[in-house]
Structure 1
Amino acid sequence: MPDTEEIDGDVYVSPRYLAASTYTGDPALEPLLALGFDLRHDDLGNVYVTAPDHRVRLGYLPEGDDDGLWRINAYKDSFGPPEWGVCFNDRVPTEFVRAFTTALAEAYERGPDAYLARPAAGVDEHDPFLAVVPVLKQGWEIDRPRWGVFAVQSPDGFAGLEFTTGDLDPETELTTRDARWQMWAGKSIDRPVWYATASTDTPVALLTAITECVADPAPLPRWREETFSYIKGMAQLTPILPPGPPAPTPLDVRRAAASRRPAALPAASVPRWSTTSRPALPRPRR
């Protein structure tokens, strides 16, 4: 866990996929802005971030038409339809969005062959199954089989991931939850606390960045008063205590003991008597 002096929150939320959003977009925007992406905003407070070559675009849309707070698209042709699109709703933990934008920034630096790499079954780092491996390593289990859907679920049943097979409508994938990939947390996929979707051609490395962050066993810090009641019923909240004083060293113990002893009187002020001492002689009378 990080140093408590740097933590923005007073409780740890575990498992982390129940932590919900921090309601600030800056941490997730930073990886792209560091590469020189252009940032603009409208009068409503929506933010638009565009790559220097206009082939990657991000929208942070608190005043959008639906609960899709984050929408990220990539293009082969900057004037054509998106090659892939990812959406995070308004309650996704911000750390998961940042994991995605960090991986996207790294892929963008490598070039179009990285951030437009299509998933391909059985092809090393482009195999779609690789995105599922991080959660399987944390004990997630294959969910009950459904026709055309591969699904895994967390051990507590409060989070899941689905991969839909077969043909899907590209426009529907970009505008609804009926996408190739979907992650969610809550009591059911039909009424999730949060969800994230990714269309068919989203690079596997970007999806894996999300699942690795979701699978991380470390809890996330949040403010208790801002934690939703439905999360409190499912998640474990652990107080973040301030750091205690350092343990005293043996030298500290000795110094403390010495400071509690009474100070010794000067030797000259202590009368010395013994049985052989002679009584004082009477003073002569005047």
Structure 2
Amino acid sequence: MTQQPDPRYDIDGDVFVSPRYLASTTGIGDPALAPLLGLGWDLQHDDLGNVYVHAPDRSVRLGYLPEGEDDGLWRINAYEDPFGPPAWGACFNDRTPTEFVHAFTTALASAHNQGPDAYLARPLSGTEHDPFLAVAPLLQQGWEVEPRNWGVFAVQSPDGLAGMEFTAGDLNPETELTTRDARWQLWAGKSIDRPAWYATASTNTPVALLAAVTQSVADPAPLPRWREDTFSYIKGTAQLTPILPPEPPAPTPLDIQRAAASRRPAALPAPSVQRWSTTSRPALPGPRR
């Protein structure tokens, strides 16, 4: 079972948000970039503040685009040919919890280390790349299959505030990379038409990368956030648990000994007694007045 974060650690936030898919972004991109930068991938940025990360062989490219043309804050593409069209693409909008993007980039870093057979692995039913494996973590946490139109497989969270869709049939590859009309769509909010956040993935996105995201979404552990940054719609739907101030560490045996010693009364100095020798004479009386 996943444990709740220990409030004694340094946590950036004043409340825990549960379920975690009702949390918003942390507003910091560094944690999601770290798995790729840790492999030595190339980091560049433009004058607007957008960040671009490339694999050394240019087989994978990531854009962190706070000044992009739309709300697609994170865009990740992989290529069979660095000069050809993307083999697959994924997008996370600007309010997606950063932890979900971090799950994706962590899995991507691992897959890229394994080679093209991993980071370009196409979903295939009945194999280790079966698309169902991307949905399984959600179903294991009580998400239910939701009736939709023919050709769309959808699951929804128990509270109805998050869902995932898989669209069958032929799709336009370019449209999948530039709009929400992609093979996969994950979202949270009051409806899929007006999501608080969303993530999309095109047809050939490896299942292992998708499963890493859904495992993070399905994790029952809450996420720390600042109360003022939480979505307004989650009031009454999400559980906000105050993060307690750090507790003092348990005293060690040496601490106990020192405390006990500090409570003992200080020893009184020995009385000053004039010592007389056998040859000493009694003091002479002083002169009378």
TM-score, normalization by structure 2: 0.85
Q: How many residues of Structure 1 are paired with residues of Structure 2 in the alignment?
A: 264
TM-fit CA distance, 1:6: 1.7
2:101 to 97, 100, 106: 97
Q: Distance in 1 between matches of 2:229 and 2:190?
A: 20
Which sits farther off after the overlay, 5-14 or 133-142?
A: 5-14
1:243 correspondence with 2:227: no
1:58 to 30, 42, 62: 62
Task: Report percent identity of matched pairs.
Answer: 78
1:176 correspondence with 2:179: yes
Counterpart of 2:35 in structure 1 is 31
Counterpart of 2:91 in structure 1 is 87
Which sits farther off after the overlay, 225-234 or 138-147?
A: 225-234
Q: Distance in 2 between matches of 1:174 and 1:90?
A: 16
Q: Distance in 2 between matches of 1:199 and 1:247?
A: 52
2:153 counterpart letter in structure 1: F
In the TM superposition, 1:21-170 aligns within 5 A as 21-123=25-127, 125-170=128-173
2:73 counterpart letter in structure 1: L
TM-fit CA distance, 1:244: 3.0
SS at match of 2:24: coil
TM-fit CA distance, 1:63: 0.5
Q: CA RMSD in A?
A: 2.3
Q: Distance in 2 between matches of 1:16 and 1:87?
A: 19
1:55 counterpart letter in structure 2: S
Unaligned stretches of 5+ in structure 1? 266-286
Superimposed CA distance per residue, residues 57-112 of structure 1 (whole angstroms, 9 cap, x where no aligned partner): 00000010100000000000000000000000000000000000000000000001
SS at match of 1:217: coil
1:220 correspondence with 2:184: no
Superimposed CA distance per residue, residues 24-61 of structure 1 (whole angstroms, 9 cap, x where no aligned partner): 10000000011111111111111111110001000000
Counterpart of 1:193 in structure 2 is 196
1:234 correspondence with 2:234: no
Q: Using a 3 Å threshold, how does the CA distance of structure 1 residues 248 and 112 change in structure 2: closer, same or farther?
A: closer
Unaligned stretches of 5+ in structure 2? 269-289
Q: Using a 3 Å threshold, how does the CA distance of structure 1 residues 249 and 26 change in structure 2: closer, same or farther?
A: closer
1:209 correspondence with 2:198: no
TM-fit CA distance, 1:172: 0.6
Which sits farther off after the overlay, 238-247 or 106-115?
A: 238-247
Q: Distance in 1 between matches of 2:159 and 2:120?
A: 35
1:224 counterpart letter in structure 2: R
Superimposed CA distance per residue, residues 115-145 of structure 1 (whole angstroms, 9 cap, x where no aligned partner): 000000111x200000000010000000123
